[in-house]
Amino acid sequence: MAVDRQDFERAVAAYWGVKNTQNEKSTLKGAVGAGTAGKVRGGQHFDPIAELLRQFFLDAKFPVGSIRVKVSDRLELPGFYRASKRWDVVVTYEETLVAAFELKALGGPSFGNNFNNRVEEALGSAVDVRRARLAELYPGERPWLGYFFIMEDAPGSRYPVALDQGAFPIPDVWLADCCSATGGKPCGLPNRKKLHGKSYQERFGIFCERLVEEQLYDAACFVTSSAEDPTPKELFPKLDWQHFSAAIAGRIAYLQGLGIPKTEAS
């Protein structure tokens, strides 16, 4: 059965269920404190999303062993600027990297602590594979990269973020409407000595759009959600589940037209 919208929403809800369960276990064991650290360090919280993506390729008759979703499956891919890097879902067939997915998240209460890390991770992973392709480390069809991101929907991710004025002006695209209207000068919001930038939700959406526009990733899905209300919110139309799933289906159809994977008839 083809993956549908309900499958997607169930997977996002399951993501929060796994995170909360891991946090409770971590707190009971005293291994880490409550909060984001406890939830993230447990791992496996993206398993429902990984299984959702895996289903696309199972439906397309890719061999089960070619679809890697667990660390034990060997998820490392060679790079140009480093020996290798572990991705979250990897699909291979003979010499072709059919698809590789990064699955990432950002939660509160302090969204700013890891925001830049997530940006740098996404850029570094994609650039490394793209350059490795030029070095003929992926001799089959051009590698296809997907990026899936969940940001916790909370006041800290929705509200404008204060920005310091640096040596050069900050482009308007990153500024809240009030500061953009004043030509990049502090506006009337609290803390008037600082510029007010777009929220973390808005900023990450712009970032993901540019990842695809610059062809660093072939498709990106960016949603906001929370444990209290797990229904995914898609703030950027081109980054919604419909576009993301259509891009995956398009990749599969392209390869099928080239006889990948080989069928019994071929």
Q: Is residue 56 part of a domain?
A: yes
111-126: string of b/e by CB count within 10 Å (b at 16+)?
beebbeebeeebbebb
Q: Is residue 86 part of a domain?
A: yes
Parallel, antiparallel, or unpaired: how do β-strands 145-152 and 219-225 relate? parallel
**Regarding predicted confidence, which is higher, 75 or 34?**
75
The model's pLDDT over 92-139, given as tens digits with 9 standing for 90+, comes to 999 999 999 999 999 999 999 999 999 999 999 999 999 999 999 999
Residue 146 has pLDDT above 90, yes or no: yes
The model's pLDDT over 187-206, given as tens digits with 9 standing for 90+, comes to 555 545 578 899 999 999 99
Q: Kindly state whether residues 62 and 191 are assigned to the same domain.
A: no
Phi, psi of 51 (to 5 degrees): -65, -35
**By the 8 A CB rule, do 207 and 117 touch?**
no
Q: Model confidence at 246, in pLDDT bands (50, 70, 90)?
A: very high
Cα dist from 137 to 140, 142, 150, 249, whole Å: 9, 11, 31, 25
Structure tokens at 88: 């979250």
State the residue range of the domain holding 39: 5-159+205-257
Percent of the chain residues topping a pLDDT of 70: 83
Q: Kindly state whether residues 84 and 213 are assigned to the same domain.
A: yes
Q: Model confidence at 43, in pLDDT bands (50, 70, 90)?
A: low
Task: Round the average pLDDT of the chain to a whole number and report it.
Answer: 88
Q: Kindly state whether residues 173 and 57 are assigned to the same domain.
A: no
**By the 8 A CB rule, do 116 and 129 touch?**
no
Structure tokens at 221: 């899905």
Q: Is residue 126 part of a domain?
A: yes
Residue 242 has pLDDT above 90, yes or no: yes
Q: Is residue 142 part of a domain?
A: yes
Q: Model confidence at 30, in pLDDT bands (50, 70, 90)?
A: very low
Q: Is residue 264 part of a domain?
A: no
The pLDDT score that the predictor gives to residue 25 is 47
Q: Is residue 43 part of a domain?
A: yes
Q: Is residue 265 part of a domain?
A: no
What amino acid occupies position 13?
Answer: A
Residue 36 has pLDDT above 70, yes or no: no
Among the candidates 198, 222, 249, a domain finishes at: 198
The pLDDT score that the predictor gives to residue 187 is 57
Q: Kindly state whether residues 105 and 140 are assigned to the same domain.
A: yes
**By the 8 A CB rule, do 122 and 147 touch?**
yes
Q: What is the average pLDDT across 196-222?
A: 97
Number of separate domains in the chain:
2
Q: Kindly state whether residues 103 and 167 are assigned to the same domain.
A: no
168 DSSP 8-state letter:
S
